[in-house]
Structure 1
């Protein structure tokens, strides 16, 4: 794909990063400066671009570590925006009291304003900004109307210099988000073949179909994949356990990286490290196991050989 020079976004290896470890979770216990530094020392061997989802304490520490330790990372920083309307179609609960929805609107404005402040505080590190994450897709538990997202994008663009996007599943971009396309500087899509019941042999072709369905619809817009990956365990709810393993993850990752390099598609791999705080209490909950590294920071199969090479 063409990388618009005016956006100053160049092809490079990219990964989503959430540094929460055992006993830690967003809004509660955060990783320390030294823990994040340890993570970034691991990631610097493979990746140039990091994606952070939220303007919380975790992201503040990541940016501080990058600056103080002089790491060569560029960051896509996102704002987390909560539900502003009820989404009764969400299977895991998308309905809230009206009072909560009003509080969420106030919190969303605070989050957007904090995104703006951090963008202006770290202009050499933060290369792009996202006005939200998976807030318009039909199944989300934090539904935000497209009109609100457009308002937030405009706010961010008025006060910052970095390119602005919105991170969402590929499907809403084909119709629901068509008015948002004119507002963002580039489009960010998510593609998860394994969640859509594709086996490992169908996965790469399906990923390409998802990408080009959006890229071909908007040929004048840069399209970035801000999430794509393959979990390594499943409890059988939504993903067949026989379709996930470290071997499957390795195949998908290598095929994806080959295609990204051939077609110059920037893709943020989901996810750097396993996230035990996510999803249900079941140990095999797939949401906990998307990392290329385990929660103890040891590499899974896909990273083990690369990791060993860097240690030699």
Structure 2
């Protein structure tokens, strides 16, 4: 716990937030000011920390709303870096690019890292940490970036911004191969998804604990944050057994996880605030679309219904 306090981080209620609604998506139509304001007013009494995934128009709107409406949020801001190497292990139609595209991606990534630094410096009272990427080193990713490049980005941000720097990744690479990166970041950020690994709800919390403690045990002198942990509420069978997902199971996992991390003083971002229909395939039951604690129309699912109705 002392290491967290040295970084200026006090564990509290934390949530991944992406506000894209029906008909909106990154690179297309972005949520407007009033839409983001509606979201943040819905979340403000229940969560202190929000995680944002990229330095895009959406993030700038979120920071603008927090500033102008004087909302008490603290933000973990990420830069979404894209592929700098081909990954032939990617199990879906992705991960392989032309050399020209990879060169362009590298330039784009440097621009994103510089935007991350710029926003960190512009909003030092709101942004409490900076992440140089998301799931870019795991074996199945479609946007593979070598550890050496990620380390370069860590150094670049550390030299020009004051916030603690991290990298958000599935728990497994931290155990298997990211020792140099672990040494370079200020704290380690892991993702744990029992349902993606075919675990039943009865095994869920124990499995997430195992994921967390395996990384924390490997790096005893480095703080470990859970930057994603969640439970889907629908599946078309792609990667997740449909019988393993529903609102009741999400509620069970959410409540058990929050009870554990609060007891152990672990900062854990639940994934995620709202369902996002733009994600994944066009199939309505695609699991990528159904991780929200709220539906895309902002009505609460079972896990947070009592919380919202108490207002």
Q: Structure 1 length as normaliser, TM-score?
A: 0.98
Q: Note the C-alpha offset of 1:2.
A: 4.8
Runs of 4+ in 1 over 3 A off after TM superposition: none
For structure 1, the 5+ residue unaligned runs are none
CA distance in structure 1 between the partners assigned to 2:78 and 2:177 by the alignment: 21
Partner of residue 298, structure 1: 299
Q: Note the C-alpha offset of 1:3.
A: 4.5
Q: Is the 8 A contact 1:79 1:112 kept in 2?
A: yes
Q: Note the C-alpha offset of 1:297.
A: 0.3
CA distance in structure 2 between the partners assigned to 1:297 and 1:264 by the alignment: 29
* Structure 2 SS opposite 1:216: helix
CA distance in structure 1 between the partners assigned to 2:281 and 2:47 by the alignment: 30
Partner of residue 205, structure 1: 206
**Does 2:168 align with 1:167?**
yes
Q: Note the C-alpha offset of 1:174.
A: 0.8
Partner of residue 177, structure 1: 178
Partner of residue 8, structure 1: 8
**Does 2:193 align with 1:192?**
yes
Partner of residue 74, structure 2: 74
* Structure 2 SS opposite 1:104: helix
Partner of residue 252, structure 1: 253
Partner of residue 40, structure 1: 40
Partner of residue 114, structure 1: 115
* Deviation digits for residues 273-304 of structure 1 (CA, Å, limit 9, x no counterpart): 00100000000000000000000000001111
Q: Note the C-alpha offset of 1:4.
A: 2.6
CA distance in structure 2 between the partners assigned to 1:5 and 1:76 by the alignment: 16
Q: Structure 2 length as normaliser, TM-score?
A: 0.99
Within 5 Å, which residues of 2 pair with 1:66-145? 66-92=66-92, 93-145=94-146
For structure 2, the 5+ residue unaligned runs are none
CA distance in structure 1 between the partners assigned to 2:91 and 2:176 by the alignment: 22
Q: Is the 8 A contact 1:3 1:11 kept in 2?
A: no
CA distance in structure 1 between the partners assigned to 2:296 and 2:207 by the alignment: 29
Q: Note the C-alpha offset of 1:5.
A: 2.1
* Deviation digits for residues 19-49 of structure 1 (CA, Å, limit 9, x no counterpart): 0000000011000000000000011021000
Partner of residue 24, structure 1: 24
* Deviation digits for residues 240-260 of structure 1 (CA, Å, limit 9, x no counterpart): 111000000000000000001
Within 5 Å, which residues of 2 pair with 1:259-278? 259-278=260-279
* Structure 1 SS opposite 2:222: coil
Q: Note the C-alpha offset of 1:175.
A: 2.5
CA distance in structure 1 between the partners assigned to 2:233 and 2:276 by the alignment: 12
Q: Is the 8 A contact 2:3 2:222 kept in 1?
A: no
* Structure 1 SS opposite 2:238: coil
Partner of residue 219, structure 2: 218
